[in-house]
Amino acid sequence: MIKAGVLKNANGSAYIEFGDNKIMCGVYGPRDVHPKHMANSSTGILRCRYHMVPYSVSERKNPAPSRREIEISKVIKEALEPAVMLERFPRTAVDVFIEVLQADGGSRCAALDAASVALADAGIPMRDMVSACAAGKVADTVVLDVNNEEDQAGQADMPIGYMPNLEKVTLLQLDGIMSPKEYKECIETGIKGCKIVYEIQKKALNERYFGDDHK
Ligand code: ADP
């Protein structure tokens, strides 16, 4: 489930429930860059922050940004960059703030799905959506949408981000070991999942802008 335009004070926003993941995303921009020296005179810049709230996981979570949160912020930024027409907004920044309220494995993919919808909701020109989901290997079988239990017990986890119209992969990570044949099958399965997610993203934007007729 994705809902677009849920926050009044952000330029664009989206909330996603994906498995047991619950994630809120707010987008600002294009707006002036502070600190000013970070501005680029030939293009806009994209900044992303992925953050987990203390009650998002069952273990006690250190409130300081973890290495994992810094890594995920970076991969989400890099997965979104090919889709956002930043060159149209030199000297400005687009900021994407992701708050994971509840995490259940595959949260980077769910966060990316919400971020794409929030960027579109903010009216930021995009070449395509970025749709993401995780495929993986559990009990020697390639499966889609790996949750936390499967992630921990499974043999491999592969988050994929994909631009469905341009047919380009913007995020591909792999944690685990698989054969070349399984690797190919996993990518194909993941891309099929991304295409399903894309329909849900479009539905969220249609509901936001064209009302209940598009439910
Ligand atoms: P992703 O959420 O993208 O799959 P990881 O594979 O790093 O990213 O994390 C898998 C899952 O592990 C998370 O979705 C979350 O459910 C759990 N997790 C992550 N960080 C913590 C933490 N600090 N304490 C407890 N569980 C965590």
pLDDT at 153: 78
**Structure tokens that stand for 6 in this block:** 């849920």
- Contact of 86 with 43, CB cutoff 8 Å: yes
Residue from 60, 66, 107 whose mutation best tests the ligand 1 pocket (most atoms within 8 A of CB): 107
pLDDT at 194: 97
Give the containing element (helix H, strand E) for 120. Answer: helix 107-121
Residues 6+ apart with CB under 8 A from 99: 23, 24, 25, 51, 52, 53
Q: Does 128 sit in the ligand 1 pocket, CB within 6 Å?
A: no
Does the beta carbon of 57 sit less than 6 angstroms from any atom of ligand 1? yes
- Ligand 1 contacts CB of residue 61 (under 6 A): yes
* Ligand 1 nearest atom to the CA of residue 134, by list position: 4
Global pTM? 0.95
Does ligand 1 come within 6 angstroms of the Cβ of 51?
Answer: no
Length of the chain in residues, anyone?
215
Phi, psi of 114 (to 5 degrees): -70, -40
At residue 145, the pLDDT reads 79
201 lines ligand 1 (CB under 6 A): no
pLDDT for the residue 214: 56
**What does each of the 215 residues of the chain score in pLDDT, given as a tens digit?**
999 999 999 999 999 999 999 999 999 999 999 888 989 999 999 999 999 999 999 988 888 889 999 999 999 999 999 999 999 999 999 999 999 999 998 999 999 999 999 999 999 999 999 999 999 999 889 999 767 777 777 889 999 999 999 999 999 999 999 999 999 999 999 999 999 999 999 999 999 999 866 55
